[in-house]
Amino acid sequence: MWNKIANIAFALIFTASLAGCGGSDTPSGVSAGAQSEDGSIVLTGAEMDRASDIFFNTCAGCHGTLRKGATGPSLLPEARTSLLGTAGLSAFITNGTPGGMPDWGRQGVLSEEEIDLVARFLQVPPPEIPAFTLDDMNAFWKLHVPVAERPTEPQHDRNWQNYFGVVLRDMGQVAIIDGDTKEKLTIIETGFAVHILRTSASGRYFYSIGRDGKITMIDLWMETPTMVAEGKASFDARSVEVSKYNGPEGDFSDKYLIVGGYTPSHFVIFDAQTLEPISVTSTEGYALDGDEYVEEARVASIVASHKDPLWVVNVKESGMVWLVDYTDPVNPEITKIATARFLHDGGWDLTGQYFLVAANAENKVVVVDVENKELEAIVETGETPHPGRGANIDHSTLGNLWLTGHLGENKISAIKTSEGDGRWTVVKEIELPGDGGGNLFIKTHPNSKHLWADRPLNNNVDLQRSVFVVDTESFEVVKTLTVPDKYAGRAVHLEYNKEGTEVWVAVWGTMEDVTAVLVYDDKTLELIEEITGDWMRTPTGHFNVYNTVHDIY
């Protein structure tokens, strides 16, 4: 029944202690009680508050804060929850589904009492989402180190372009690690569940965005990397990016920053040097067919063009790609391109002209010609594509390829992006070992002959703890690497160092587990370093400065 119920990638929370323990800043004002249409289910105001917090942190990423559905189905009473009832809903929450929904109860993430509460919550109308305005953002904004007080050159002799930012997800922290020496340089308190890190165009700054909508700006030139500003764009967010264009129309590199909101659905433009809010633009609107008005139209991902003063903003529920011209950040000019629903994540092809993004609920990848501001193609792939930013390969016979993995099946699809026969079609499929999908990320590097893939969302424990190395010429899986037994958790996310000689893999465990980031030699495929310690808790994404600046993936 729920064969596509959850893409946990949006939430990445299988281990969090969600009903307390620091959680996120959920929308305020949810204090009134509620009851089901027939009056059989009644929740007090306190129960609504608690259930809203659990749902927001655990379920909203896939099902929407308003519970209207996205990658996961609608969870409104009239859609199905009243029919399933408390017992049926509790069974799904406890046991999960083969299609990818986590088994929250069996994992021990939610107690029986919490599961019962959420099951009852799903049978009453969802609470309203309050606004989050520029005044709210200004009230939260903190400039810790003014621009004039920051150094004008690096205050150390380290190779800062090879720094890594490692998300310690449930700790609400980001660790900055020297990629050359593997030393932990500092830990920055960032807020709840950082989703990604992006760099400034120069690479000097890391910007983190959390699922609580908080942004932190980290200066890597200081002797010890330091948070110099912080802000907040929404109650929930997934994407952040800077302006990167420097050309005939002006030098806009590192001038502006954009954050895409999930809740409320909008994007916000900030001053990239200070994080002072400049403008907010709602993404509500009609879906691509023009018939349905979508109130919860969340910004799933954003990339910056190097060739034009544009951000590519992917509006999930509406299936619209917005090209946002930031030359006037107060009143940005927007070109809207109808594509496919529901948009998630993606990246550039090797030329930087085309942006490819997964419409994962429709098993498609959308291709947008950003230079000409038009839809180029829609490509059928496998079940629930999940590319992250994808991976680019210049193949000797097939030409330029952009690849995506899948949550729903054990294959990686290679789409031809260069001109010639087969362009914008899947020209090669790579089968990964074992049944089922569960791939979240793939990664390669121009200096490597390998493509790496993880499987953290597969039901099989052995596959969850493995990464798979593929030869980029033959497309054969040449080695399967497994997390050492001494570390609990799943292997997740892959990132090369600047030179493309090492691959870093996170071991994603619980708050109680001391885990690690494992470093492999990309040539020998041997484990060469284990970055660990009492501070290494719940590592997930990790981002290399140089590769992030230059969109190397």
Query: Between the CA of residue 535 and those of 211, 299, 308, 417, 516, what are the distances in Å?
Result: 21, 32, 41, 42, 10
- C-beta separation of 371 from 353 below 8 A: yes
**8 Å CB contact between 5 and 73:** yes
d(CA 339, CA 343): 9
Q: Tell me the β-bridge partners of 348.
A: 355
**What distance in Å separates the CA atoms of residue 360 and residue 404, rounded to the nearest whole number?**
11
Catalytic hit among 48, 63, 320, 542: 63
Distance CA 180, CA 498 (A): 10
Catalytic residue among 59, 171, 217, 320: 59
From 48, 62, 217, 320, the catalytic residue:
62
Catalytic residue selected from 48, 101, 217, 536: 101
Helix (H, G, I), strand (E, B) or coil at 155: coil
Q: Is 101 among the catalytic positions?
A: yes
Question: How many other CB atoms are there within 10 angstroms of residue 419's CB atom?
Answer: 8
Cβ–Cβ under 8 Å, residues 543 and 165: yes
The runs of H, that is alpha helices, within 26-165 are 45-58, 60-63, 82-95, 112-121, 134-140
What would you measure as the largest C-alpha separation in the chain, in angstroms? 68
Instruction: Please give the DSSP secondary-structure letter assigned to residue 385.
Output: B
* 63 is known as an active-site residue: yes
Q: Which of 352, 349, 291, 281 is nearest to 318 (CA)?
A: 291
Which residues on adjacent β-strands are paired with residue 513?
Answer: none
Q: Rounded CA gap, 296 and 310, in Å?
A: 24
Measured distance CA(169)–CA(263) in Å, rounded = 20
Structural contact between residues 446 and 439, judged by C-beta atoms closer than 8 angstroms = no
- Nearby residues of 291 by Cβ (< 8 Å), 6 or more positions away: none
One of 48, 217, 266, 344 is an active-site residue; which one? 344
**C-alpha span between 45 and 28 (Å, rounded):** 12
Q: How many CB atoms within 10 Å of residue 323?
A: 21
Tell me the three state secondary structure of residue 466.
strand
Measuring CA to CA, which residue among 166, 171, 122 is closest to residue 17?
Answer: 171
State the CB neighbour count (10 A cutoff) for residue 232: 25
d(CA 60, CA 67): 7
Q: Which residues pair with 445 in a beta bridge?
A: none
Respond yes or no: is residue 450 known to be catalytic.
no
Enter the tokens of residue 327: 């030359």
Any catalytic annotation for residue 386? yes
Residues in Cβ contact with 5 at an 8 Å cutoff, skipping those fewer than 6 apart: 62, 72, 73, 92, 97, 99, 100, 101
Name the residues annotated as catalytic.
59, 62-63, 101, 344, 386
